[in-house]
């Protein structure tokens, strides 16, 4: 996390200081110093991209700023919408949904907070760190999966925001136009980069929280009117738990991105605490609120009508209808509350694009903000036609690969690198012959899916194991990958004769 008043990355820092070859040297990375890039940098736009942050630029000491960043990313409609799937998607009542949400959120927030602690110590983005296990070339596989995951979250946010804006106009503003508005506004914040993003995230949670409180207070009298659901089977509970895991664990793949400008001496305990609390404290109540809204929908005709009309946006508009014009204003605030989440997610997407292929690092980071917006808008418009089914399909699946990824990078750091962040040398990050091949990491992850696939329970597929147990795919992905990675990595080290 960076404080908005902290030192902005210096465009004139020598390439050698960043672990890049200087002018005239053979390298796969060139940092453009054209007039246009310098002009953007002078306007506060971040141009540095994925290059590891040198010591001279890691100056931020405001560790508590991590809390407000994750708070803004979490205080919005996304967890509310996800919580609604408990009753509406899985047929689980409010009490049981709340227990699943609480327990699995406690567990699944841990890897996000743990990996965030590596940002200040290494000065490397999360997927750059992943090169030290997945290798220079094969890291493209988790990068592609991460791009798909983060893009999916942007799509969901854009749909929810667009439908919310449409709901208050009674169809005069179509959801498609609303999606375009939300996506472009988020792109503007993301385009500017680290400094503007953190300045926005520092305060954006305040109006979002106020709007959520007002919406809850206005429609609160109906929240106790819960539909009656039968006691859920264990398999159903585990399937909903997998959805919660899919909502939280993927953040681990970008957790360190927001802390790379911090001083290396930043307390790891504080970084862990602020990340964990910034994600956990708002997410759990909002997931539970979503479950309460979803459970009440069938018994509140106006809410059900709003849901049938414009999905989540219609429900929110119905909840705030008693407040008249002020209620519509609050719905607009709720729609815009998603901008913080989309902008931060897009920021990590722009960095991941630079890792997709070696030559892409030459493309300025901010140009990818335009590219991803052009992708998100049409996909979101299509996804809006069957929103909740698409939501379940997407979040339910992404937890599998994310769990395997977390297992690899955690074992690599804690076991093979002895929790020593100096083992992530800035001299090695862009040199294939100084990094692992990545075969052990990718092999362990891929082989784990021999058990993960039969243990999946999705709308479109239920494996033979999952038919009995429910969805236990994300648990097996983590455990099996960790068990396989240790011997495979030892073999890789023995063959390559380097860590």
- CA–CA separation, 384 and 194 (whole Å): 30
- CA–CA separation, 364 and 195 (whole Å): 16
pLDDT, one tens digit per residue, over 286-315 is 999 999 999 999 999 999 998 888 778 889
CA nearest 334: which of 467, 162, 147? 162
- Res. 5: pLDDT tops 60: no
176-193 mean pLDDT: 91
Q: Which two tokens stand for residue 97?
A: 């949904």
Q: Percent of the chain, pLDDT > 70?
A: 90
- Res. 33: pLDDT tops 90: no
pLDDT band (50, 70, 90) for residue 37: low
- Res. 65: pLDDT tops 60: yes
Place of tokens 């937890």: 399
pLDDT, one tens digit per residue, over 473-489 is 999 999 999 999 999 99
- CA–CA separation, 145 and 410 (whole Å): 18
Q: Please, are residues 492 and 436 in contact by the beta-carbon 8 Å criterion?
A: yes
In the chain, where the domains are located: 56-395
* Beta-bridge partner residues of 60: 262
pLDDT, one tens digit per residue, over 357-410 is 778 888 888 889 999 999 999 999 998 888 777 787 788 789 999 999 999 999
Q: Please, are residues 156 and 323 in contact by the beta-carbon 8 Å criterion?
A: no
Q: What is the dihedral of CA 341, 344, 347, 351, to 10 degrees?
A: -110
CATH number of 56-395: 1.10.4160.10
- CA–CA separation, 75 and 227 (whole Å): 26
pLDDT, one tens digit per residue, over 133-148 is 999 999 999 999 999 9
- CA–CA separation, 438 and 435 (whole Å): 8
Q: Which two tokens stand for residue 141?
A: 């596989």
Give per-residue burial for 458-496: e unless 16+ CB within 10 Å, then b. Answer: beeebbebbeeebbbbbbbbbebbbebbeebbeebeeee
pLDDT, one tens digit per residue, over 40-63 is 555 556 656 788 999 999 998 989
- Res. 236: pLDDT tops 60: yes
- CA–CA separation, 253 and 69 (whole Å): 16
Across 28-42, 93-107, 191-205, 305-319, which has the greatest mean pLDDT? 93-107
pLDDT band (50, 70, 90) for residue 15: very low
21-34 mean pLDDT: 42
pLDDT band (50, 70, 90) for residue 225: very high
Per-chain mean pLDDT for the chain: 88
pLDDT value at residue 12:
40
pLDDT value at residue 239:
92
Q: What is the pTM of this model?
A: 0.88
* Beta-bridge partner residues of 457: 462
CA nearest 195: which of 70, 306, 338, 43? 43
pLDDT, one tens digit per residue, over 107-118 is 999 999 999 999
Q: What is the DSSP-derived secondary structure letter of residue 465?
A: T
Q: What is the DSSP-derived secondary structure letter of residue 360?
A: G
Non-local (6+) Cβ contacts of 378 within 8 A are: none
| 3-class SS of residue 25 | coil
């Amino acid at each position: 996390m960076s404080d908005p008043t902290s030192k902005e990355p210096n465009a004139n820092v020598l390439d050698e200081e960043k672990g890049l070859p200087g002018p005239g040297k053979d390298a796969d990375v060139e940092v453009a110093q054209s007039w246009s890039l310098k002009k953007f940098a002078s306007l506060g736009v971040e141009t540095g991209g994925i290059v590891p942050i040198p010591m001279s630029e890691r100056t931020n000491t405001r560790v508590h700023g991590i809390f407000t960043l994750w708070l803004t990313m979490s205080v919005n409609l996304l967890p509310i919408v996800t919580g609604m799937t408990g009753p509406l998607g899985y047929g689980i009542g409010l009490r049981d949904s709340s227990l699943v949400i609480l327990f699995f959120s406690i567990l699944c927030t841990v890897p996000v907070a743990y990996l965030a602690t590596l940002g200040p110590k290494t000065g490397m983005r999360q997927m750059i760190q992943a090169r030290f296990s997945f290798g220079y070339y094969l890291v493209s596989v988790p990068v592609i999966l991460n791009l798909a995951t983060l893009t999916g979250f942007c799509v969901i946010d854009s749909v929810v925001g667009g439908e919310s804006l449409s709901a208050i106009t009674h169809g005069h503003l179509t959801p498609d136009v609303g999606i375009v508005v939300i996506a472009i506004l988020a792109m503007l914040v993301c385009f500017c980069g680290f400094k503007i993003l953190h300045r926005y995230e520092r305060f954006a949670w305040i109006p979002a929280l106020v709007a959520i409180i007002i919406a809850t207070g206005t429609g609160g009298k109906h929240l106790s009117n819960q539909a009656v659901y039968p006691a859920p089977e264990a398999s159903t509970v585990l399937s909903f738990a997998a959805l919660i895991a899919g909502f939280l664990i993927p953040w681990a793949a970008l957790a360190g991105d927001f802390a790379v400008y911090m001083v290396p001496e930043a307390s790891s305990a504080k970084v862990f605490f602020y990340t964990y609390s910034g994600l956990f404290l708002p997410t759990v109540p909002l997931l539970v609120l979503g479950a309460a809204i979803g459970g009440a929908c069938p018994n509140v005709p106006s809410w059900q009508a709003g849901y049938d009309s414009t999905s989540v946006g219609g429900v929110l508009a119905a909840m705030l209808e008693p407040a008249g014009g002020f209620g519509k204003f609050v719905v607009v605030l709720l729609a815009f509350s998603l901008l913080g989440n989309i902008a931060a997610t897009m920021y990590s997407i722009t960095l991941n694009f630079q890792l997709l292929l070696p030559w892409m690092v030459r493309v300025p980071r901010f140009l990818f903000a335009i590219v991803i917006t052009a992708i998100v808008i049409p996909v979101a418009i299509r996804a809006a036609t069957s929103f909740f089914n698409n939501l379940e399909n997407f979040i339910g699946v992404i937890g599998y690969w994310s769990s395997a990824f977390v297992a690899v990078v955690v074992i690599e750091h804690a076991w093979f690198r002895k929790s020593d962040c100096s083992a992530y040398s800035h001299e090695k990050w862009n040199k294939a012959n100084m990094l692992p091949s990545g075969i052990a990491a990718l092999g362990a992850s891929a082989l784990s899916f021999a058990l993960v696939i039969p243990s999946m329970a999705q709308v479109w597929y239920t494996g033979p194991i999952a038919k009995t147990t429910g969805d236990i795919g994300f648990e097996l992905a983590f455990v099996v990958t960790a068990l396989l990675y240790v011997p495979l990595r030892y073999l890789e080290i023995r063959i390559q004769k380097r860590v």
